[in-house]
Amino acid sequence: MAKLRQNHSQNDNGMVYKAGIFAFIVGILYWGFNQIGGEESSILDTFKEAMEQPAATNDGGAISSDEGLDYALPTSTTGQIVKHKYYTLSYSEKHEQAEWVAYELTVDRLNNKIADRTDNFRPDPKVKTKSATPSDYRRSGYTRGHLVPAGDMGFSEQAMSETFYMSNMSPQVRNQNMGIWRELEEQVRDWGRKYKHLYIVTGPILNEQEFDRIGKNIVTVPRNYYKVILDVTEPEYKGIGFIIPNAISDEHLTEYAMTIDDVEERTGIDFFPDLLSEELETELEGFVDVRRWKFSEKRYQQRVRNWNNR
C-alpha cells in the first residue's frame, strides 16, 4: 500500500509538472501572439468598449453624449464645450455659432421615429457667453441652417427639441440649405441605415475670409461648411469628409468628397483624437474610396431639377 501511494504521488507530481510546462508554453505562445498581432487586435477596443455600454431604452438603443460620447469629440479651438443630451458642440463666441457639433447616428435611432419637427428656435441657455437669437436671422436673406439635422433626431422629443437651439444654427444660403446640404443630410441618413453606426461631426469653416455678418449679435456667414463621417460598423470601418460651399450647386456630392485629413487641414480641427489609435487614424482619416459609399443618383437629379429652384 505504501508503494502504491508512492507511485500515485509520483504520478500526481508528474502530472502537475507536465501541466506547469504546458501552461508555460501556452503563456509564451499567447505573449508572442500579442506581440505580433495584439496591437492590431486592440486597435478597435475603444469602439467595442463604448458599444458595450448600457444603452438607454427610450432613445432607439443608442448612446447619448452624456453616456459615453466624450471619447469621440474633436478638439475645441474656442474652449467652450457645450454638452446637450444627444449632441455636443464647441461654441465660437466670435462667430456666434458652433465651430463643430458631434453626435452618433444609428439605425435604431433612425427606425424609431416618435417626434415631429418642432421649429422651436431659441437661444441656447448652456452657452455661457450667450448664443445668437432667432431675430439675428430675420430679414437677413439667410436661413437658420441646422448643423445637427432635425431629421436625425426624431427618436426622442428632447433630442428633436435640442436641435432648435440657436447654437446649432448657422446662416446658410436658402438654395444651399434646401439643395445640396439637404441632399447630403438625407444621404447620411441612408448611410446610417445601411452601415448601422456612424459618428458625425459638422460645422462651418470659420478660419476663412468672411463675406458677410448678420444681426445685432454679428453672426458670421461662413463661405463653406464641412461634414465628416466615421463608419464604425464591423468589419468595414471607413471614413469620409465633405466641404460644401455656402451657395447653390449643381455638382455631384462626390465632387466635394475628400479625406478627413483634408478637412482637418482646412479647419484646423482634430476630429477624433481620442477615439482612434494612431494606426487606425492613419487608415481612416488619410484615405477615402467613394466607391465604398453608395450615393443616390436619383436624389442628386431631384436636387438639380427641383430643390435648387425653390
C-alpha cell at 103: 453626435
What's the N-to-C CA distance of the chain in angstroms? 101
Torsion over CA: 99, 105, 109, 114 (sign): positive
Nearest Cα neighbor of 187 from 224, 234, 240 is 240
Distances, alpha carbon 188 to alpha carbons 106, 159, 161, in Å: 11, 18, 21
Instruction: Give the number of other CB atoms < 10 A from CB of residue 178.
Output: 20
Task: Quote the CA–CA distance of 201 and 225 in Å, as a whole number.
Answer: 11
For 9, the 3-state DSSP assignment is helix
* Catalytic residue of the set 84, 95, 146, 197: 146
Task: Quote the CA–CA distance of 271 and 263 in Å, as a whole number.
Answer: 9
Task: Say if residue 9 is exposed, middle or buried (CB neighbours under 10 Å; 0-12, 13-18, 19+).
Answer: exposed
C-alpha cell at 19: 501541466
Nearest Cα neighbor of 295 from 257, 239, 245, 248 is 257
Do you find a cis peptide bond into 235, omega within 30 degrees of 0? yes
Known active-site residue 84:
no
- Which positions are annotated as active-site residues? 146
